[in-house]
Amino acid sequence: MNKHAKDTSKLTKNQSLVLEALSGARQPLGAYALLDRLRDEGFKAPLQVYRPLDQLAALGLVHRLESLNAWTVCCAESHQGTPIFAICNDCGMVTEHLDEQLSSTIEALPEMSGFVPDRSIVEIYGQCGECSDQ
Ligand SMILES: [Zn+2]
Ligand SMILES: [Zn+2]
């Protein structure tokens, strides 16, 4: 495990602001929702949000939910494997899970099929515990 993964002291001001805004949100945020939250901090253009998001994603601090086109803070200290996101259809709550078996299956793809994965993310839709209770 890379113990520096959550070392946020080297982040730029914009990266820290974006990370903070995401941490404070209950749900994943799209770039424009983030921009709205950061207007008071002087953010004006989507690029001011996209660039830090790309960098934070590269550091493993945030993940991009492809189907929602939104970003969320990583739940873990640091992980190599494929994050699995359970997304509630009703309340929009998103929880992140890790599964070593799935991760090793994906890592074995080049050997099994010649396909070389670049990045991977799994998104599962359904109802969270709270919503399915009602
Ligand atoms: Zn994660
Ligand atoms: Zn729910």
What is the phi-psi region of residue 97: left when phi exceeds 0, alpha when psi lies from -120 to 50, beta otherwise? beta
Residues 96 and 52 in one domain: no
**21-45 confidence digits (pLDDT tens):** 999 988 899 999 999 999 999 999 9
Q: Structural domain of residue 55, as residue ranges?
A: 13-73
- By the CB criterion, residues less than 5 angstroms from ion ligand 2 are 88, 90-91, 93, 128, 131
- Give the per-residue pLDDT at 79: 85
Residues 69 and 119 in one domain: no
Query: How far, in Å, is the centroid of ligand 2 from the Cα of 10?
Result: 35
Question: What CATH code is carried by the domain that includes residue 63?
Answer: 1.10.10.10
Q: Is the pLDDT of residue 2 over 70?
A: no
Number of structural domains (the chain) is 2
Query: Where does a domain end: 38, 54, 73?
Result: 73
For 10-64, the DSSP string reads: T--HHHHHHHHHHHT-SS-B-HHHHHHHTGGGT--SHHHHHHHHHHHHHTTSEEE
Considering every ligand atom shown, identify the ligand nearest to the alpha carbon of residue 84 and give its number. 1
For residue 1, being part of any structural domain is answered with no
Q: What is the pTM of this model?
A: 0.84
Question: What CATH code is carried by the domain that includes residue 87?
Answer: 3.30.1490.190
